[in-house]
Structure 1
């Protein structure tokens, strides 16, 4: 009886559960580690915020698979924080990082709500490595912590490819505007 009263109370206050449009924005895929993806080229209204997904099914602008000459690629992985839950796309940290780094870098957001760390590694393996990244940032949140069952451990070929293709950096110089002039500061990533 209390469940019915609670349901009526919540609905009278305007709460109707998760928006159906977000639930409809997910498709099932044949993948034993992550059996869903966002629908490519979809748009979801979340309050006043529109979540727009690119042709790869990520909340980001379009990115060609082939890297432009002279441009360094940064892949950003994570869960809802990385995807930008609750914020406009220009307020997402991957968008802000792109603005800070400038045109010599291309920041690619592969964040998906609800992922844990093994699933994020899997997204890197099946999606991210195809973009030939120079740097990979994993946005770790404490609720992402999970163990790798043996079926989900990164393959040795993945580790070897990352060691050969990526130059790992601990910091990057970022242009910073200050009073009309530009100076550089170090930013640990």
Structure 2
């Protein structure tokens, strides 16, 4: 089996769907063989595409707040592997960014997971990650997945997307901040504090 470093290099050079991407290919991800928690999001937004730093935007600020981690903790790949469903910026749609490209996850995720044997928790951020990974026992909606997060533990923890655009969802679902976030913070801190 090739090394994780070599695999990450191959992914960063991937051009499978470049012809479909408005700004060209620029795969954005982070991982280490020591990563303890994996974050599977949607796809980079334009700010992340330009910076090359995953969750380097308002969504990332919100996600770090939910996790109760510092910027340094978040970007330490020994703590977090950050692997979106689509590695490149997919372009703008009528209501925000287009969905992640469908080529990335089936092409690369399984190979990445073979190297990430220390992962203790996978955060499924948004509907695309949840549809892909919760095939056996999904609930009908993202809201139901998040409300019944205990059903997917100990490995998966479904979350809504932390985008500022989701303020309506958060306003309608107060239980998320009151009940789910404290449990998420506790689990993340327990894993990160393990020696």
Greater relative CO (CA pairs within 8 A, separation 6+): 2
TM over 0.5: no
Higher helix share: 2
TM-score (ref. length: structure 2):
0.35
TM value normalised by structure 1: 0.35
Structure showing greater Rg = 1
